[in-house]
A and B are shown apart, each in its own frame.
Chain A
Amino acid sequence: MTIIQARNLSKSYRISEKQPGLAGSLRHLVRRVHRDVVAVDQISFSIEPGEFVGFLGPNGAGKTTTLKMLTGLIHPSGGELEVAGHQPWRRQARFLRQITLVMGNRQQLIWDLPALDSLQVNAAVYGLEPVAAARRIRELAEMLELGPELQRPVRKLSLGQRMKAELLAALLHSPSVLFLDEPTLGLDVNARVRVRDFLADYNRQTGATVLLTSHDMGDITALCPRVLLIHEGQLFHDGSLALLTQRLAPCRQVRLELADLHPSEAFAGFGQIEEHHGHLLRLLVPRDQLTERVAALLERFSVLDLEVGDPPIEDLIGVLFRSRDAAARGDSP
């Protein structure tokens, strides 16, 4: 039985545009120019109960808009959507009791009070009996390695402790569908790993369905066997992470700090130039030609520093889209 089903899901906004300066302001005042922006463009996917799915895409791709539609915070402009047997936008109490949304840049805990105060409110709102609520708080606190921190005002907690307390508050009512929007945003490496471990354990122990968006590929590779890749509101990949890596992995990122200045054309044969400012150069190089290209670069140019790594997800996706465009141009007569 499918727990999340989206068919041709779309969302567009009408925004007004204003030119800068006094003339622009006056024009905006008397004659407003509107433009329709398509944030999500007819995406379709389904998720089975218990799945842990990564939702990937660059900034502005439509990830958060999709999550907001799935949770019922915003109304779709088109398409069909069903989550846990409900139409989310109706925000029925029975639906709201089954889901939770954690946003790394938003908080539900009361800032000036200990997290326990907010947890008591959540327990009452979701109808948890005091004994059951206390037991649940204890269990989750143990999993999240939280103790006396719950009795300190939220404002006094570190970012990592605050995020764990937010997770505790979001999971108190045992939701069966978790929507997590950048839950590791701003956390240091240790805190990030602990949050990841917790999410993996929670998914394994409760069988909850999780849809996770993150810019951190570490989160995705550690947690999500399946990923949805979205760009400019369109779904470009729905499948295993291994399959996505196969499509994107041919490239690695080579960062160079050069001793001398060279025109960009000088690096034409070495890879895809992603960035070139003064002495700094960033190239995407096919993985199977990495050794010879780097050797050639070192031989031909005076290099002060060199770093090889995986390119940011945005760049990988960019390569994917460019190759699609090139293929499309090649196919056309």
Chain B
Amino acid sequence: MRVRHGWRVARALLVSQYALMLEYRAEIVLWALSGVLPLIMLGVWSGSGAGAGAGLSPQQISRYFLSAFLVRQFTVVWLIHVFEEDALQGRLSPFLLQPLAPLWRYLAAHFSEQASRVPIVAVMLLALGLVAPGLLWLPSARSLLLGLVAIQAAFLLRFLLQVVVTTLCFWSERAAALDRLLLIPYLFLSGLVAPLETFPPAVRRLAMATPFPWMVDFPARLLAGEEVNATLGFAAIAAWCLLLLPIGRWLWLAGLRRYSAMGA
């Protein structure tokens, strides 16, 4: 009964949020276009030939950054920005009076936004294939399957990390600024700017101890068909999620108490 109810709620949320994303299709096209940093980095790395110094062939570099582009497209999290606005404008209150935790609505909105990006990204890839046909390749079924699962796992990790930061909206009216601060380690340690293999060993070890490489480098390398310890990667994501989940929950409940105390 609970499963059936949960399924109905999930379906209703996804359908309505997908309809909403279709209303915002022009905006989503712009968002998708703004996520081309890995393609720019592909151009930079291909032009400089710096990959050879790190033992990466031009093909490995191009496949890595194309995969990173796909990972980036489907792991975008904007929870804090909408939540901050909802909390400040009082739109959170009606959600709090329904027997459904508001975070489920935001999660459904993210999944719907991902779905609405699929055709846009497909067109972008098609255009890239027309301009530079040699860049595209057909990944193996194993790489594709593991890569797609890793992308969703990476998305979940990013979402949970942002839930933790988002709960700070209950204490500060400008918590989104903190998220902008997190963007710096995310950019440099996730592998968006450079594959982790090209990092000096000490920096790589440091990066691997943070959640960031599992958000881009790990799924991108899986998708690119490189030799990756998939078990270790999925275990690391699971471990980070298990750490962030109770922290996020605790902060959420404490934040709600504060929100209630301050006047909702």
Known pairs A89-B260, A124-B11; A113 contacts B93 (CB<8 A)? no
- For the complex, would chain B's binding face be called helix, strand, loop or mixed by DSSP majority? helix
Q: Which A residues from 87 to 139 make CB contacts under 8 A with B?
A: 89, 91, 93, 96-97, 99-101, 103, 106-108, 110, 112-113, 117-118, 120-127
Q: Is the CB of B263 within 8 A of A68?
A: yes
The CA-CA distance from A75 to B90 in the complex, in Å, is 16
Q: Is the CB of B99 within 8 A of A97?
A: yes
Q: Is the CB of B260 within 8 A of A74?
A: yes
Q: Is the CB of B94 within 8 A of A13?
A: no
Q: Is the CB of A101 within 8 A of B16?
A: no
Q: Is the CB of A113 within 8 A of B16?
A: yes
Q: Is the CB of B264 within 8 A of A101?
A: no
- Which residues of A are found within 8 Å of B249, using beta-carbon distances? none
Q: Is B23 in the interface zone, CB < 8 Å from A? A: yes
Q: Is the CB of B94 within 8 A of A120?
A: no
Q: How far is the CB of B97 from chain A (nearest CB, A)?
A: 6
Q: Is A73 in the interface zone, CB < 8 Å from B? A: yes
Q: Is A71 in the interface zone, CB < 8 Å from B? A: yes
Total A-B residue contacts, Cβ distance less than 8 Å: 80
Mark A10-29 against chain B: 1 for CB-CB distance below 8 A, else 0. Answer: 00010000000000000000
Q: Is the CB of B100 within 8 A of A125?
A: yes
Q: How far is the CB of B182 from chain A (nearest CB, A)?
A: 26
The CA-CA distance from A68 to B264 in the complex, in Å, is 8
The CA-CA distance from A71 to B260 in the complex, in Å, is 11
Closest to A125 in B: B100
- Which residues of A are found within 8 Å of B97, using beta-carbon distances? 71-73, 91, 96, 99-101
Q: How far is the CB of A168 from chain B (nearest CB, A)?
A: 14
Residues on A lying within 8 angstroms of B by beta carbon are: 13, 65, 68, 71-75, 89, 91, 93, 96-97, 99-101, 103, 106-108, 110, 112-113, 117-118, 120-127, 153
Residues on B lying within 8 angstroms of A by beta carbon are: 5, 8-9, 11-13, 15-16, 19-20, 23-24, 90-91, 93-100, 257, 260-264
Task: Return the 7 tightest CB-CB contacts between A and B, nearest first.
Answer: A124-B12, A108-B94, A93-B99, A73-B264, A75-B260, A124-B8, A96-B99
